[in-house]
Structure 1
């Protein structure tokens, strides 16, 4: 059986070290952009020779720092549309 050779510091000594108040501020949130034009493709790029797909969001979602409310219709790549539907962010057709 292993033993611990370190000794505990008395509570008074530990309290003396931590008497200075510490204040930490939360990191600043990145600014949000307004929603893109409805005809712009958002999210990952569409592969060559593939047409983008229109999806309707059912939940609030942020893509590339842009907020999209529920009901927003977006043009996205078919792969991204599949991921959004699988995660419950877009309606199933």
Structure 2
């Protein structure tokens, strides 16, 4: 007598079998609003810096188009400019 060495897969739930379950492939993104400060939190005593995006960028699940003006922490502004996402002005 031979034995099967493969393991049996667990049974699927009924809703998964009938095709009614539909999970999104990516989480829903929010439309860009006028937030106070986006990105990492401001360090204590630091003032936010205004930056203008040069390219499309997503921060914390929110899409920002090129030309969007944002308030960010000074460190984050430096990183965005260094990576080419914000204008150098």
- Separation in 1 of the partners of 2:62 and 2:84? 18
Instruction: Give the alignment's TM-score, normalised by structure 1.
Output: 0.68
- Structure 1 runs (4+) deviating above 3 angstroms are none
Unaligned runs of 5+ in 1: 1-26
RMSD value over aligned CA atoms? 1.5
Q: How does 1:34-45 map to 2 (within 5 A)?
A: 34-38=31-35, 40-45=36-41
Deviation string, structure 1 residues 3-35 (Cα, Å, up to 9, x no partner): xxxxxxxxxxxxxxxxxxxxxxxx711101011
| Structure ID, larger Rg | 1
Instruction: Give the alignment's TM-score, normalised by structure 2.
Output: 0.71
Counterpart residue number, 1:17: none
Q: How does 1:4-83 map to 2 (within 5 A)?
A: 28-38=25-35, 40-83=36-79
Give aligned pairs, total.
67
